[in-house]
Amino acid sequence: MRIVLLGGGGHASDVLGALEALNAKSCNGPGIFIEVAGILADDDVAPERFGHRGIRQIGNIDDLRHIDATHYIACVGYPKGRKSVVDRANDHALAPFTVIHPRAWLSSDVVIGAGAVILANACISASVTIGAHACISNGAIVGHDCRIADFVSVMPGACISGNASLGDGCMIGANATVLEGLSVGAWAAVGAGAVVTSHIPENVVAKGMPARHA
């Protein structure tokens, strides 16, 4: 299996670490080894970020059609940027690859969309649905029966309580909390450390305890 990473920032470094852990733990299935073809990014990637891991930038995202690979991962931390990358990648024949770090814990009935990324020490409880290209970051907690839509980002240490709903492309900041049964609308952003105690509409920024529209 040969994968190309789309994006060369900090999130790409986290994703690469998850792939390295999967190879080290042989969690990919019999005879499957994940080979990273390289990084495609529109901006120049500092060689020192990935060079010591044997990975280099091999072009920009528009070069995807020329890359010898079978799968891609959209390695952009922010939802709108990640969606833009996926929209461009969908013009090509490569398939999105779903990443689940071997140190993440998932209930057996979790449903995960194509291209989603679940990083180390994330905890995903029963009957959760996670959309395509969503990212559940390091140490985040998602409670039972939550609905996580496409392109959502749940940042490190965030806690999504049971029966919550996160709309397309919303972002939950580091160490923020969404209380049980509440919803965060599409493309909204919840600030780091905020506590969501009421429904958050689409396309707003909410901060504080309790979280209020900025």
Q: Which two tokens stand for residue 85?
A: 């990358």
181 is in an annotated binding site: no
How far apart CA 38 and CA 175 sit, in angstroms, is 32
Output the CA–CA distances (angstroms, integers) from residue 25 to 13, 32, 90, 108, 160, in the order listed.
18, 12, 30, 19, 28
Q: Which two tokens stand for residue 140?
A: 């985040």
Q: Is 138 helix (H, G, I), strand (E, B) or coil?
A: coil
How far apart CA 168 and CA 152 sit, in angstroms, is 6
Whether 199 is catalytic is no
> Exactly one of 66, 92, 133, 144 is catalytic; which is it?
144
Strand partners, 123: 105, 141
Strands 205-207 and 212-213: antiparallel
Q: Residue positions in the annotated binding site for substrate? A: 77
What positions carry a catalytic annotation? Answer: 144
Q: Residue positions in the annotated binding site? A: 77
